[in-house]
Structure 1
Amino acid sequence: MKGLTPQLGFGRIAAFAGLAVLGALVGIAGSLVQGGWFPGGLLLALLGIAALCYGGVTATGSRSGGVAPGIGWLIAVLMLTASRPEGDFLFGAGLGSYAFLLGGMIVAVICATVPKLSQPGGPSVRLGK
């Protein structure tokens, strides 16, 4: 069954690495926006990671395209939540921060696991024609 699965070449690896970097940038930007404009910023941050993960699935044609930005986002956000020697960190202890952390993980998993429906081939999909 050669041809059903896409080959893992240099271009695909570069695309996945680029998606992971974009996921990290979206995570950093979302962590700043969600606290600044609480209700709207949180929604904007979650929509950003959802759009990137679904765009990765669509662009690469595989679920791995949704996993790569999710992993980049997770690594960036986890690094931002790590405590510094001074004792403070970027996220405050509020409902918005927890909603961003858990919501972003849930959105990334949903976008990476939702099956991509393929379009039927052929000239017409209507039964009467």
Structure 2
Amino acid sequence: MSGANGGGSAGKGKGTGNGAAGAGKGARSRAGSGASAVAAPVPDAGVPPLTGGRAGTYALLLVAGVLVAVAGTLVQAAWFPGGLLLALGGVAALFYGGGRATGTPAGVLVPGAAWLVTVFLLLSDVRPEGDFLFGAGLGSYVFLLGGILVAVICATAAQMRVAGVRHGRVGG
């Protein structure tokens, strides 16, 4: 490559030999201590492969998501302020525990999807008598939106753990 295209010796024709200090016209200079320009390989995210035990854990989390949805639906309507907090606490425990047990974001997404589908099925189920499992009050909407918010927060936190994002200040 020629020096005009950015390749070759940066100090060519200047007599300096230091690429950062004597970069000529059209040549690229290298900032820093003159370390190699080869980028370090990006580490693998470390997502473990799907095994029989992990598939069984996902199946249990799926069933637990359905059970927590049904129990939360009944509890949040029975004892309004305390029942709503208890139901959201159960949802948060399931999602956080699923993410920690599997070590993957799928540990949050599997029970989250089961919970969401179950809640929407219970929400839309109308009996012939006109009864709903969910009341039309504020607690039902807080339970629905709060559960979705908790699932998103737990999935984001699990994704950051898998990617190896360090805690602390960004950029230094």
Letter in 1 for 2:136: A
Deviation, structure 1 residue 3 = 9.2
Partner of 2:52: 10
Letter in 1 for 2:149: I
2:106 paired with 1:68: no
Larger Rg: 2
Aligned length: 119
Which is richer in helix? 1
The normalised TM-score by structure 2 is: 0.64
Instruction: Give the direction of change, closer, same or farther, for the CA distance of 1:83–1:4 in structure 2 (3 Å limit).
Output: closer
- The SS at the match of 2:135 is coil
Q: Deviations over 1:41-80 (max 9, x none)?
A: 0011001010111001111111111111111111211111
Partner of 2:120: 78
Partner of 1:112: 155
Instruction: Give the direction of change, closer, same or farther, for the CA distance of 1:75–1:3 in structure 2 (3 Å limit).
Output: closer
Letter in 2 for 1:20: L
Identity, % of aligned positions: 55
Note the residue ranges of structure 1 that are not aligned, 5 or more in a row: 121-129
Instruction: Give the direction of change, closer, same or farther, for the CA distance of 1:16–1:36 in structure 2 (3 Å limit).
Output: same
RMSD of aligned residue pairs (Cα, Å): 2.0
Deviation, structure 1 residue 85 = 4.9
The normalised TM-score by structure 1 is: 0.83
Q: Give the ranges of 4+ consecutive aligned residues of structure 1 lying more than 4 Å apart after TM superposition.
A: none
Q: Aligned partners of 1:2, 1:62: CA distance in 2, in Å?
A: 13
Letter in 2 for 1:36: A
- The SS at the match of 2:134 is coil
Partner of 2:67: 25
